[in-house]
Structure 1
Amino acid sequence: MNGVLPDSALRQLIENGAISAELPILPEQVQPASLDLRLGTTAWRLRASFLSGRGRKVSERLADFEMHRMDLTDGAVLEKGCVYLVPLMERLTLPKGLDAVANAKSSTGRLDLLTRLVTDEGTEFDRLPEGYDGPIYAEICPRSFSVLVRPGMRLNQLRLRQGQAVLSDNDLRALHALEPLVTGDALIDDGLGFSVDLRPTQGDLVGYRARPHSGVIDLDRIGAYRASDFWDELHTTDGQLILDPGAFYILVSREAVSIPPEYAAEMAPYLAMVGEFRVHYAGFFDPGFGHGQAGLGARGVLEVRCHEAPFALEHGQVVGRLVYERMAERPRQLYGTGIASNYQGQGLKLAKQFVAG
């Protein structure tokens, strides 16, 4: 059956060697519809981001871009504004009929830590063609904060797909009629649209802006950093927020969304030029996100960067869309059910490394 492969199928690919690794793949790496990828022991500081290009390997191109090599074994700092390439522990030998796509994990995106998958013979980031057989790499560019990383850290995730999995707008409307995917009216236009919430039901806190001169964040330290040391709170009472060029923001969607167990979804920009800003759209939504119990859904956290000119963002302005995909089978475990799901039932929430204060 066509669709995104669930956890059981991923485990089967690990068992038969289609997904292999230097060290044994850990059970907790397997998510309901994706596989977490682990950093290896080496990082190259690059003078520029690059793609290997058709017919060429990443290792062949490194001499053109490498500035110096770093050992991550005891931890190393990746500095804000710099570009790094890290070989991942995992290696892929994709069977016929399967391709793959990668996303930054939720916490990675909320730290403005640009992380993209790079492959041999690659002509685009985060995409692996059917039959890919080779190593995989993470390109990492910290944009707001310098970060301390170690081997084994999981910054991005990979999902494998067989055939056409994306739902058409008609399919989305039919699914929404059976099981509401969003609170309020559903804006369905090349995916399920969502808007920004700048009129919260309680208080006037609408988001956070990254502070430009902050300390280093050790990604392994959960709940260890005061939010006020790294973020400025944003308050508004008129439903408007003016975005500053070059600044990075954490906002939240007005709508609560639900991902039924037989589906997954990816956050994408609503329009290529929706204004002088872009939603970072690190987000991949696993089956079960915002689903179950009261069935009220969960908000989508928006990672927003403003470009070139100040931009007035208005409450209810459509800023992104969710592209839904069918699962090949229902996963055995769902997001938020028996696994460490940090953002189930979320509202406006910073990365897991921060606590209020």
Structure 2
Amino acid sequence: MTDNPGVIASQGIARMIAAGQITSATPIPDPQIQPASLDLRLGTVAWRVRASFLPGRGNTVADRARDFEMHEIDLSRGAVLEKGCVYLVPLNEGLALPTTVNAVANAKSSTGRLDLFTRLIADHAVEFDRVDAGYTGPLYAEISPRSFSVLVRPGMRLNQIRFRAGKVALDDAALAALHDAETLVNGPAQIDNGLGFSVDLKPGKGDIVGYRAKPHTALIDLDKLGHYAVDEFWEPVRAEDGRIILDPGAFYILVSREAVHVPPQYAAEMAPYLAMVGEFRVHYAGFFDPGFGNATAGGAGSRGVLEVRCHEAPFVLEHGQSVGRLVYEQMQEVPERLYGADLGSNYQGQGLKLSKHFKAPE
């Protein structure tokens, strides 16, 4: 039942589809359904818009788009979304949510690791990536490639949506108890409005602690997996002294010092950075599925990959510095399939890792 408290699991999402609470003009294939979320597919057209926008109360996205649209792009044969531009794409999926269910969206992991800024917009929305309980209407993706221009086609899945019924987030007392029972992180647990994590800037194998996106690169076709040479798009980041200086406007892939575990009956979300920890954004993709880093799902704790962009001024980042926190949420029921090898999950047991589009290091 969708009115029981908790994040709705894969089998609950399937029931929502069958009940018409998640709509689509074409059938939704089973691989779109993840343990605690639904992947969303691009439609057949995109609009190049002058600026990012929110529709606001009483306004539809389509009506507001007319104020900002520059031209329409046919995606059916594949189309290039250019770095530095903003696009609006109607998604195949829409919603007819019960009044007890709201939703939150986020970019998929590979989307974030390409610095492909992707956010969900719903009619009447006053926030990105948030859908109110009871919402009925279409969904749109705002896409803004930041580091690399990309080739996209209809049906590609760049973002995902998670459905929640009632109060789902664990408070600090419940989170501490869960850590005592399940060991959510190796080492001491820093619990304060979620589970804190820090950055790893001490080299392990070799001396590379991260990657920085090169400013002038070729196009990335999002259908080509394991295809691109790392050194054509990324330069390695080294930190012999356990610190790096982030350059304003540059995009980095780093990794958390801690190995994280999400038990099967819980999900987690990486919370937005706090301004007090520094002038940088910690992530784009923030969903951690049930089973992430879980031993029964092929993991033994998995480190979180950090998508980092520095803002106003150069900023010194040091090994072990706190950079964010994970908010754990109760599942409505344990998913029938967990994140891991059985789902072909790309990042179970990960350390420092680029998106699946790049060739594995030799």
TM-score normalised over the length of structure 2: 0.97
2:190 is the counterpart of 1:187: yes
CA displacement 1:245-292 (0-9 Å, x = unmatched): 100000000000000000000111352331121212412000000001
- Across the two proteins, how many residue pairs are aligned to each other? 357
Residue identity matched to 1:350: L
Q: CA deviation at 1:337?
A: 4.2
Counterpart for residue 181 of structure 2: 178
Is contact 2:250-2:310 (8 Å) kept? Answer: yes
**CA distance, structure 1, for counterparts of residue 193 and residue 286 of structure 2:** 17
Residue identity matched to 2:156: M
**CA distance, structure 2, for counterparts of residue 270 and residue 218 of structure 1:** 30
2:212 is the counterpart of 1:206: no
Q: CA deviation at 1:296?
A: 2.7
Residue identity matched to 1:239: G
How is 1:224-239 mapped onto 2 (pairs within 5 angstroms)? 224-239=227-242
2:100 is the counterpart of 1:97: yes
Give the 3-state SS of the residue equivalent to 2:65 in structure 1.
Answer: helix
Is contact 1:269-1:319 (8 Å) kept? Answer: no
How is 1:240-255 mapped onto 2 (pairs within 5 angstroms)? 240-255=243-258
2:329 is the counterpart of 1:310: no
Structure 2: state its 5+ residue gaps.
Answer: none
**CA distance, structure 2, for counterparts of residue 150 and residue 34 of structure 1:** 22
Q: CA deviation at 1:348?
A: 0.1
Seen in structure 2, the aligned counterparts of structure 1 residues 271 and 98 have a Cα distance that, compared at 3 Å, is: same
Q: CA deviation at 1:200?
A: 2.8
Counterpart for residue 69 of structure 1: 72
- CA RMSD in angstroms comes to 1.1
Give the 3-state SS of the residue equivalent to 1:156 in structure 2.
Answer: strand
TM-score normalised over the length of structure 1: 0.98
Is contact 1:167-1:323 (8 Å) kept? Answer: yes
How is 1:1-357 mapped onto 2 (pairs within 5 angstroms)? 1-293=4-296, 296-355=300-359, 356=361
**CA distance, structure 2, for counterparts of residue 61 and residue 316 of structure 1:** 44
Q: CA deviation at 1:204?
A: 1.3
**CA distance, structure 2, for counterparts of residue 229 and residue 214 of structure 1:** 7
Structure 1: state its 5+ residue gaps.
Answer: none
CA displacement 1:190-231 (0-9 Å, x = unmatched): 100000000133321100000000011000000010010000
What is the identity percentage for the equivalent residue pairs of Structure 1 and Structure 2? 67
Q: CA deviation at 1:83?
A: 0.2
Is contact 1:79-1:146 (8 Å) kept? Answer: yes
Residue identity matched to 1:176: H
Give the 3-state SS of the residue equivalent to 2:137 in structure 1.
Answer: strand
Is contact 2:168-2:329 (8 Å) kept? Answer: yes
**CA distance, structure 2, for counterparts of residue 6 and residue 193 of structure 1:** 25
Q: CA deviation at 1:307?
A: 1.0
Residue identity matched to 1:348: L
Residue identity matched to 1:143: R
